[in-house]
Chains A and B, each alone.
Chain A
Amino acid sequence: MRLHVVTGKGGTGKTTVAAALALALASGGRKVLLVEVEGRQGIAQIFDLPPLPYEERRIAVAPDGGDVYALAVDPEEAMLEYLEMFYGMRRAGRALTKMGVLDFATTIAPGFRDVLVTGKTSEAVRRRGKDGKRVYDAVVLDAPPTGRITRFLNVTEEVADLARVGPIKNHSDLVRGVVKSPETAVHFVTLLEEMPVQETLDGLADLQAAGLPPGGVFINMVREPLLPQPVLDKAVKGRVDTAELVAGLEAAGLATGGDAKALAEALAEELAEHARRTEIERDERDTLTAAERPSYELPLLADGVDLAGLYELAESIRTQGAA
């Protein structure tokens, strides 16, 4: 795989997973580009860096060698670069920008914006160095959320309707060639909750209908099981051995008598709720299985996402064979 597109419902940790995947892919001395397209500077925040310019720069080193580069794509800069690269029209580009042409183009046909962004990404995927080898071993794209992903990737179809001939059409075809190639995979990030799972399934269906290549499903923020299944099965039905809890709390010196009983009941309530949630998570996992995509589970990071957490996730991605 060369191009990994990462999407997911808002709040599922899409950017985190994209960053961890980039780190995982870079390990073993490879060179990976992590691309951000929504102007949110999410990569900079996760890696604890100042805002990224429109420039490929190295932002992290994989544990056993290998580099992660990052790029925050700015549509306007991408357009100028594109004009210069293909037409040698730097000056005209500036003039167009000054006249608000880009504003105009993205308002009238927001697809153009997406073409510029996917175009820049495709260019990085295809770029070769002087030695004829690809510059990047892999490119990871932190893409728009699930609801917009098919449209975003399929934007070349939309533009093809507008521009049937001419350079934009040629450029669109080139992008489409990369996006639809067998070297591309679109991954979904989800949580074990109803709405993200439903959106993942809907997104996969849309993707397949559009002839885009589906990748894996990353189940994010998975909690380790703390209690044996039989205990949970009983707790779901509200059956918790509070007498045992009272004895345990007293043995631990946390409370005695009535206090211990009250605390035991409160903890039993917490346990029952946990059991209900675990049951829902199990159902959602089953639902995802029906999609028949490879799935990978990433642990919930107790301290939230920081740099150390990213490396932990990258390691987990590697051991599960997703990179």
Chain B
Amino acid sequence: MRKPATLDIDAILDDSGTRIIVCCGSGGVGKTTTAAALGLRAAERGRCAVVLTVDPARRLAQAMGLSELDNTPRRIVECESGGQLFAMMLDMKRTFDEIIEAHADPERARQILSNPFYQSLSSSFAGTQEYMAMEKLGQLRRSDEWDLIIVDTPPSRSALDFLDAPERLGRFLDGRFIRLLTAPAKAGGRSAFRIFNAGFGFVAGALTKLLGAQVIKDLQTFVSALDAVFGGFRQRAELTYKLLQAPGTAFLVVAAPERDAMREASYFVERLAEERMPLAGLVVNRVHESPAATLSGVRSAAAAEDLQSRGEHELTAAVLRLHTGRMQLAAREHREQDRFVTAHPTVPVAQVAAMSEDVHDLAGLRRIGELMAKA
């Protein structure tokens, strides 16, 4: 295997210039665990760190002592080093509600919060979570209460949606359609559709036919109520986007040594480069090594067959077959990582050996942190 540069996790954590670490990767690769382990290690090395997690598995939340969805950071540990670890789970609906309440007058806020479209938007999974994760990250950073924020990105369909969030929001707000819908307020309450030209009228007719008049009305109320709030919203999303590009941010792509996950990792690395986001490196979780790596899979298999054909040493033969399987797995994982390294030779890599059990407590997280830093 080509030897990639080693990702020095401790150097990143110890650098007081590192203010934000973003863990991104496809679903199921242990992203949240990586984020939590980094947070704990940072705290034990003297940082005041907060882990912002989006959708943690129940047990992992318990490992960090978080029992419920809670939109404010809670202290998990205070270390001898003077460092501290905080953690919070994003409650996207509450985050959204808070933005509305902070930026609209009470009457308008009430209108928005009770609108069926708002309720759908604010509690739905796709899209909103990315906006809110970005928003919360911005809030935490602005509060300046923590010197390191570690964020674990939402398990999106295309896991970099959070990068697109500000742009999509912009496109959404500048869209002709939203202007069409907000028109009645601006045109003194006349029907939105009447004041436009024939093309719009045609579309409006189609929409009314499609959605029904009540939906159009709800939608208009919602959009015009939200219109006033949105400006600042977009501005902050853009600020957060710039913050991510700044030198104090480190992106870590998290993967597992499997084809799909490594392919996604390649995609992330390219996407981050395109967006000029500062990539620190790749963390490969759950890598299988063998304590008996000096014995190759091929020799092991041949020896097992030999023993079996002679009808001797049944236990040894079985153990050798087990070892063969392990070496084959390790070889396959190497190949999958090789593809990545060949395509991205300059990206530093840290490997985390597979553990036989899931993480249940801080000791487990600490162990992951050690494995990551040892790489």
Contact = CB atoms under 8 A, between A and B. Distances in A.
Interface in A87-125: 87, 89, 92-93, 95-96, 99-101, 103-104, 106-111, 113
Interface in B70-116: 116
A254 B178 CA distance: 74
B121 A245 contact: no
Contact of B212 (A167, A193, A223): A167
Nearest to A274: B322
Interface stretch (B187-195, B234-242, B307-315, B366-374): B307-315
Interface in A160-205: 161-169, 193-195, 198-199, 202
B26 to A, nearest CB: 6
B292 interface: yes
Contacts of A231: 315, 318
A161 B295 CA distance: 63
B26 A10 contact: yes
A226 B124 contact: no
A85 interface: no
B125 A110 contact: yes
Contact of B155 (A107, A145, A273): A145
A9 B30 CA distance: 12
A244 B124 CA distance: 60
A294 interface: no
A167 B210 contact: yes
A248 B316 contact: yes
A108 B221 CA distance: 13
B313 A244 contact: yes
Given A95-B199, A145-B155, A194-B59, A253 B120 contact: no
Size bin of chain A's contact surface? 35 or more
B272 interface: no
Contacts of A89: 206, 209
A204 B25 CA distance: 26
A192 to B, nearest CB: 12
B332 interface: yes
B328 A302 contact: yes
A144 B156 CA distance: 10
Contacts of A209: none
B57 A271 contact: no
Contacts of B321: 226
A108 B219 contact: yes
Nearest to B125: A148
A302 B301 CA distance: 14
A280 B356 contact: yes
B319 A276 contact: no
Interface string A239-274: 001001101110111100000000100111111011
B203 interface: yes
A299 interface: no
Given A162-B215, A165-B212, A245 B206 contact: no
A303 B171 CA distance: 45
A42 B77 CA distance: 42
A228 B117 CA distance: 59
Contact of A109 (B120, B206, B292, B328): B120
A263 B294 contact: yes
B27 A168 contact: no
A166 B157 contact: no
Contact of B316 (A38, A101, A169, A247): A247
Interface of A: 9-12, 38-40, 83, 87, 89, 92-93, 95-96, 99-101, 103-104, 106-111, 113, 144-145, 147-148, 151, 158, 161-169, 193-195, 198-199, 202, 223, 226-228, 231, 241, 244-245, 247-249, 251-254, 263, 266-271, 273-274, 276-277, 280, 302-304
Given A9-B28, A11-B28, A241-B315, 8 more contacts: A96-B207, A151-B125, A167-B209, A195-B57, A252-B303, A267-B320, A269-B291, A270-B291
